[in-house]
Amino acid sequence: MGLAKAKKAKVLQASTSEVYGEPLEHPQKEEYRGNVSMSGPRACYDEGKRCAEALFFEYYRSHGLKIKVIRIFNTYGPRMAENDGRVVSNFITHALKNKDISVYGDGSQTRSFCYVDDLVGGIVKMMATGDNVTGPINLGNPRELTIKQIGEIILKLTGSKSELVYKDLPVDDPTRRCPDITKAKQILNWEPKVDLETGLASTIEYFKQ
């Protein structure tokens, strides 16, 4: 932020849906202040992002820094790292190897997955807005699916012989996650275009290669 101030540059804060924690509001709007554990095993990430947002807005108020704050929901697509620990990459790599797929809890927790091309398009549009638009603005896909459904779709698309194996749910793992993208539609004229099955097919092809 100091460098951006010195160079009079716009600067993007890639925040996260994790600032909402275990949400008591659904879907999550930008005005929702969250329900976050400050001492749990995931707190360093959640609170780190919340702190970063606070610092960005303080620089905006104190120094007139040109900030753009977006809250990114689950994103996937080609070029994901095979071992990054994310749901989509884990499920696909295990399915292609016909290894059991671990589902935590009963698989009823939900996520909303946005294809990487859609996300990048939203970021570009956000950076093109006037200085009066600071955010935060949610960028994500409002199509909400359970983790079990995601696993079943990936098994079908890969033709895998893998099975879903259920394990204990990690501490502080959010049970629901879905963005309200009303602001993105109104301010950025943006919404996701790539449906999940199409995006997963491209991602699966990448991992095959």
Q: Which amino acid is at 49?
A: K
- The three-class DSSP label of residue 137 is strand
126, part of any domain: yes
Residue 174 pLDDT more than 90? no
Nearest to 109 by CA among 58, 147, 144, 61: 147
More confident residue, 72 or 82: 72
Q: What is the mean pLDDT of residues 140-163?
A: 96
Distance, CA of 75 to CA of 112 (rounded, Å): 8
Number of H helices, E strands in the chain: 7, 9
Expressed as residue numbers, the domain containing 24 is 7-208
CATH of the domain at 48: 3.40.50.720
To the query of whether residue 45 is one of the catalytic residues in this protein, the response is yes
Please give the single-letter amino acid code of residue 53: E
Give a yes or no: residue 196 inside a domain.
Answer: yes
Rounded average pLDDT over 117-131: 98
Check if the beta carbon of residue 112 is closer than 8 Å to that of residue 178: yes
- pLDDT, residue 172, reads 73
Helix axes 87-96, 196-208, angle to 10 degrees: 60
Residue 173 lies in a domain: yes
| Position 161 in a domain | yes
Of the candidates 34, 3, 41, 4, the residue with the CA atom closest to the CA atom of residue 16: 34
Is pTM beyond 0.85 here?
yes
How many domains is the chain built from? 1
- Choosing from 20, 32, 45, 206, the catalytic residue is 45
